[in-house]
Structure 1
Amino acid sequence: MQDYHGKAVAITGAANGIGQELARRFAAAGAQLALADIDADHLDALVKELEEGGAQVLSAVFDVRDYPAMEAFARETFAAYGSVDLFFNNAGVISVGTVWEQPLSDWDWLLDVNVKGVVHGIKAFVPGMIAQDLPCHVVNTSSIAGLLTVENSPAYVASKFASLSLTEVLDLQLQGVGSKVTAHVVCPAVVQTDLDNCLRHRDPSTYDADDPYYRTDDYRARMAVVTGSMPHGLPVVDAVETIITELEKGTFYILTHPAYNPAITGRVAGIVGGVRPTLVAR
């Protein structure tokens, strides 16, 4: 890992999982940090840990769906550090269901966090990053679910395809204006995070917790797939090691699970061949 003394790194979704490990790694490398999350307790604990280790940290607690809060976070970061060298647009959530049964409120929540939340981060940070006229990076967290489709989580898959293609367009537009900002997209498969517990941070006003669908066998079985997969995922430290290594190489598509590469190329071949999608055997 490179030396990041004098560099400023901003991270959303910083209190848990990949965001938390990114914060620890960049703090150890000397970076100044701006950390945001909806999880106040875990964020406060992380800030205390990093500051006790000598890191300079500013933090903000907000929901990435809230653009004014994101804009304020960006403004405070630039004011504190003068520039932003790395911005990790990392916050994300998951839900499960069938397209025709899953409550529409789940779709609103997923798309607002996983797509509009990314847009909010771009709009808040990128103009200032362009204006500073320095080589710097925007790193959006998508998923292997932005490259491969599975049937368990339709809103999540749709949101991750959207965030990946959004990042592609972002980088093309940055190239088009001759900016020194480059974009990157991270596409992890299952990592040992608490993604399956994200519902605990959901605003109760955004859904009906008593919706009958949440009590169906279908919902419970699909949620069990998500929960059951987490302990078998890639350790967070290994995922973040790959993310940082590939970012420092200048890699655009950062893939943390090379075992899925044949499936990705197979998907492309299937698209060209007009092949119908196939269910994943479980």
Structure 2
Amino acid sequence: METENTAKFRGGVAVITGAGAGIGSGLARQCASIGMTVVVTDVSSDRAEEVADQIRKSGGEADAMTVDVSHFKALDALAEAVYAKYGNRVRLLINNAGIETLGFSWEIPAERWESTLNINIHGIVHGARAFIPRMLASGQECWIANLASVGAFGVMPTQTAYIMSKHAVQSFSECLYLEMKVKQAPIHVSSVVPGMLKTSIFDAGAGAGEPQGAETYRSRMYHMMKDYGMDLDAGCKRIIEGICANKFWVDTQPEMTTGALQGRAKFLTEQRDPEIADEARHLLGLS
């Protein structure tokens, strides 16, 4: 359903990284539903094309492109290709691509550490870096949304690589928002804070390169998400509505975000020692 906020996106182009599955695919469908042409990008050309084809079969417009966001030159090439084809129709960039990595910090292989940081942090930094100059040059009102996480406001042992990366994304988005204010640029920045959505991020096959034993944690988190996670399309609808409303804070489950923020604020102001949250103890097999 079109609203006053979503109407301004009709006819524009949305570029979404990691859109071949999970939250990215849900966001792609939502952008198509409000009349945008969606550039579905993913490291897997088959997954990108599958989502783009679904959108086209539903009456929307979509283009599939293969991009490995862990390489900054690939994001430079993406921006060049998108603007060569669509020009100033590009209005929205969603830096979504990310992976979950589980295991004790010292047991995670160096290669998996590098992949996690390159995809989760550098993919967002260089996505913004590649697109912002072109957005500024267009003179158009544009939007950038970076995928953080409710995990950006807490800690979790054995999720260290992922949690660390999302803390970085949150701080990057806050600074980027302020930089747009300094430049008086017509570019809106959103930090997207998903809670627990039903996606494939904890599927068994997603843990290639993780240390032995990580599969136990992955299985527990998979079942928790399956049993208690929010419907993907419902969560993505909330995200797109928030972006369209020019909100910096965009979340899927406000009560979860509020709880995480309050807990973090208390930890910082009281300068407590880090501790494991009660709800996390079961996942770690401690209760």
Match of 1:222 in 2: 217
Query: Unpaired segments of 5 or more residues in structure 2?
Result: 283-287
**Aligned match of 2:249 in 229, 250, 253?**
253
Match of 1:273 in 2: 270
Cα distance change of structure 1 residues 60 and 33 upon mapping to structure 2, 3 Å threshold? same
* RMSD over aligned Cα atoms: 1.9
C-alpha offsets along residues 210-231 of structure 1, whole Å, 9 cap, x if unaligned? xxx42x3xx2332223322221
**Aligned match of 2:143 in 137, 145, 153?**
137
Q: Give the residue type in structure 1 aligned to 2:67.
A: F
- 2:45–2:64 Cα contact (<8 Å) kept: no
The ranges of structure 1 where at least 4 consecutive aligned residues each deviate by more than 4 angstroms after the TM superposition are: 198-202
Q: Give the residue type in structure 2 aligned to 1:262.
A: G
Q: 1:1-282 alignment to 2 at 5 Å?
A: 1=2, 2-3=6-7, 4-83=9-88, 84-197=90-203, 200=206, 213-214=211-212, 216=213, 219-231=214-226, 232-260=228-256, 261-281=258-278, 282=282
Q: Give the residue type in structure 1 aligned to 2:217.
A: R
Percent pairwise identity:
27
CA distance in 2, matches of 1:55, 1:82: 19
- 2:204–2:219 Cα contact (<8 Å) kept: no
Query: Unpaired segments of 5 or more residues in structure 1?
Result: none
* Cα distance, 1:15 vs structure 2: 1.1
C-alpha offsets along residues 43-91 of structure 1, whole Å, 9 cap, x if unaligned? 2122222223333322211211122222222112112222221110000
Please say which of residues 158-167 and 11-20 is displaced more in the overlay. Answer: 11-20
- SS where residue 119 of structure 1 aligns? helix
* Cα distance, 1:39 vs structure 2: 2.4
- SS where residue 261 of structure 2 aligns? helix
- SS where residue 60 of structure 1 aligns? strand
Cα distance change of structure 1 residues 54 and 221 upon mapping to structure 2, 3 Å threshold? closer
CA distance in 2, matches of 1:47, 1:262: 36
Q: Give the residue type in structure 2 aligned to 1:151.
A: P
CA distance in 1, matches of 2:140, 2:207: 36
- 2:204–2:215 Cα contact (<8 Å) kept: no
- 2:40–2:51 Cα contact (<8 Å) kept: no
Q: Give the residue type in structure 2 aligned to 1:133.
A: G
CA distance in 2, matches of 1:123, 1:195: 26
TM-score (norm 1): 0.89
* Cα distance, 1:141 vs structure 2: 0.4
- 2:72–2:122 Cα contact (<8 Å) kept: no
* Cα distance, 1:198 vs structure 2: 8.3
- 1:94–1:198 Cα contact (<8 Å) kept: no
Equivalenced residues, count:
271
C-alpha offsets along residues 162-220 of structure 1, whole Å, 9 cap, x if unaligned? 01101111111121112111211111122101112485596xxxx5x7xxx42x3xx23
CA distance in 1, matches of 2:207, 2:221: 17
CA distance in 2, matches of 1:53, 1:262: 38
- 2:197–2:229 Cα contact (<8 Å) kept: yes
CA distance in 1, matches of 2:105, 2:123: 22
- 2:75–2:126 Cα contact (<8 Å) kept: yes
CA distance in 2, matches of 1:154, 1:230: 19
Cα distance change of structure 1 residues 258 and 5 upon mapping to structure 2, 3 Å threshold? closer
Q: Give the residue type in structure 2 aligned to 1:30.
A: G
CA distance in 2, matches of 1:256, 1:34: 23
- 1:118–1:163 Cα contact (<8 Å) kept: yes
